[in-house]
Amino acid sequence: SQQGEEDPQALSIQEGENATMNCSYKTSINNLQWYRQNSGRGLVHLILIRSNEREKHSGRLRVTLDTSKKSSSLLITASRAADTASYFCATSQGGSEKLVFGKGMKLTVNP
Partner 1 sequence: EAEVAQSPRYKITEKSQAVAFWCDPISGHATLYWYRQILGQGPELLVQFQDESVVDDSQLPKDRFSAERLKGVDSTLKIQPAELGDSAMYLCASSHTGGRTEAFFGQGTRLTVV
Quick one: which segment of 1-9, 12-20, 56-64, 71-79 binds partner 1 (CB under 8 A)? 1-9
Which one of 54, 57, 80, 98 is in contact with partner 1 (CB under 8 A)? 98
Q: Is the peptide bond before 8 cis (omega within 30 degrees of 0)?
A: yes
**Beta carbons of 93 and 29 less than 8 angstroms apart:** yes
Q: How many residues bind partner 1 (CB under 8 A)?
A: 28
**DSSP of 4-70:** -EEESSEEEEETTS-EEEEEE-SS--SEEEEEEE-TTS-EEEEEEEETT--EEEETTEEEEEETTTT
**Binding positions for partner 1, 29-88, rule CB under 8 A:** 30-31, 33, 35, 40-45, 48, 88
Residue number with CB closer to partner 1 (41 or 78): 41
Which one of 22, 77, 92, 108 is in contact with partner 1 (CB under 8 A)? 92
Which one of 70, 104, 107, 109 is in contact with partner 1 (CB under 8 A)? 104
The secondary element (H helix, E strand) that includes residue 97 is: none
How many CB atoms are closer than 10 A to CB 48?
15
Kindly list the residues in this chain that would bind partner 1 in the complex (CB under 8 A): 1-2, 4, 30-31, 33, 35, 40-45, 48, 88, 90-93, 96-104
